[in-house]
């Protein structure tokens, strides 16, 4: 079930490499299926609030303010893990997503395929996922 | 098996929203396990080459040139799908990865955990993955 956890990070925000806007790029992923839900950005304040509260907080570039996702929609993201990449410029967050990640009502923000090769037949993980979905129904 | 495919994109690069460096952020994911391998950037030329060849080509910000991943290491990434997000500023690429994605020799560039909640016991997909690994051995 859902549950808030507070954490301590093994690395400080000051050790990360920021983008040209002075922010850290964050990829947020469903912790069970590994589906990528969204990409957003964090300031130091957003990162520290995320670690302290166990709930994803980003920096809204359009509203220019801290943005705890779910505060208006209820669609909170509970942190399961935070992992930094080899050159320390991108954070990967695995989360338990309440409701949908996308403001359009889609579970993930990535729903517009530009190109797609058919590969479902080679993909045993999708079979397992189907079996699991049936079991859970 | 591996195989090169050429594609046509349903959307042109000019329709995307670029970051402050004039590039498109790209998240690259293993198409079978959904593991996030790396985050990199594309110019229009890199995007068009990727679509035309079916092999991931980025723009190297450090070397300031087109970078077809694998040209020196052999670790090519064959495109399975390209998906743009709701606000058209991030591309998600699902690929078949040859060898390792990370220059450190790690399969993924994301291997440094900052915080991690134990959740393996709740995660049936990991059980399925283990079963699958055993079957394949």
Q: Which runs of E-coded beta strand occur in chain A? A: 24-30, 36-42, 57-60, 65-68, 77-85, 90-97, 110-116
Neighbour-count burial for B111-129, b at 16+ CB within 10 Å, e otherwise:
eeebbebeeeeeeebeebb
Greater model confidence, A137 or A48: A48
| pLDDT higher than threshold 60 for residue A1 | no
| pLDDT higher than threshold 60 for residue A19 | yes
pLDDT score for B102: 97
Do the domain assignments include residue A126?
no
Do the domain assignments include residue A124?
no
pLDDT score for A109: 98
Do the domain assignments include residue B67?
yes
Q: How far is the alpha carbon of A27 from chain B, nearest alpha carbon, in Å?
A: 8
pLDDT score for B121: 47
Number of domains in chain A: 1
CB B88 within 8 A of CB B15: yes
At B83-122, the pLDDT tens digits run: 999 999 999 999 999 999 999 999 999 999 999 987 754 4
CB contact under 8 A, A83 and B5: no
Measured CA to CA, the distance from residue A47 to residue A52 in angstroms comes to 9
Q: How far is the alpha carbon of A118 from chain B, nearest alpha carbon, in Å?
A: 8
Task: Report how far apart, in Å, the C-alpha atoms of B23 and of each of A90, A99, A118, A130 are.
Answer: 16, 31, 28, 37
Provide the pLDDT confidence category of residue A121 given band limits of 50, 70 and 90. very low
pLDDT score for A131: 63
> How high is the mean pLDDT of chain A?
90
| pLDDT higher than threshold 60 for residue A96 | yes
Beta-carbon pairs below 8 A across chains A and B = 168
B84 chain-A contacts, CB cut-off 8 A: 110, 112, 114
Q: What is the CATH number of the domain that holds A78?
A: 3.10.20.810
Do the domain assignments include residue B53?
yes
CB contact under 8 A, B129 and A124: no
Interface test with A, best of B1, B114, B118, B126 (most A CBs within 10 A): B114
Measured CA to CA, the distance from residue A105 to residue B53 in angstroms comes to 34
- CB within 8 Å of A105: residues ≥ 6 apart: none
Strand partners, A113: B83
Q: What is the mean pLDDT of residues A96-119?
A: 94
CB contact under 8 A, B117 and A80: yes
- Closest CB to A51 among B82, B115, B129: B115
Do the domain assignments include residue B22?
yes
Measured CA to CA, the distance from residue A114 to residue A111 in angstroms comes to 10
Structure tokens at B136: 């394949």
pLDDT score for B117: 85
CB contact under 8 A, B9 and A114: yes
pLDDT score for B36: 98
Q: How far is the alpha carbon of B29 from chain A, nearest alpha carbon, in Å?
A: 9
- Closest CB to A84 among B82, B91, B112: B112
Do the domain assignments include residue B73?
yes
CB contact under 8 A, A125 and B129: yes
Domain that holds residue B44: 13-111
| pLDDT higher than threshold 60 for residue A123 | no
Structure tokens at A53: 């509260």
Task: Count Cβ atoms below 10 Å from residue A117 Cβ, excluding itself.
Answer: 16
- Closest CB to A115 among B9, B104, B129: B9
Do the domain assignments include residue A90?
yes
- Closest CB to B35 among A31, A34, A38: A34
At B39-74, the pLDDT tens digits run: 999 999 999 999 999 999 999 999 999 999 999 999
Do the domain assignments include residue B125?
no
């Amino acid at each position: 079930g859902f549950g808030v956890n507070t954490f301590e990070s093994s690395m400080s925000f000051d050790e990360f490499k920021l983008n040209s806007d002075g922010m850290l790029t964050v990829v947020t992923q469903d912790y069970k299926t590994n589906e990528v839900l969204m990409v957003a950005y964090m300031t130091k304040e957003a990162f520290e609030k995320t670690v302290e509260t166990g709930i994803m907080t980003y920096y809204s570039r359009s509203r220019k303010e801290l943005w705890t996702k779910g505060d208006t929609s209820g669609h909170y993201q509970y942190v399961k893990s935070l992992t930094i990449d080899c050159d320390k410029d991108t954070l990967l967050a695995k989360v338990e997503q309440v409701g949908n990640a996308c403001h359009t009502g889609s579970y993930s923000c990535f729903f517009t395929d530009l190109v797609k090769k058919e590969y479902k037949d080679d993909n045993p993980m999708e079979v397992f996922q189907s079996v699991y979905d049936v079991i859970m129904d």
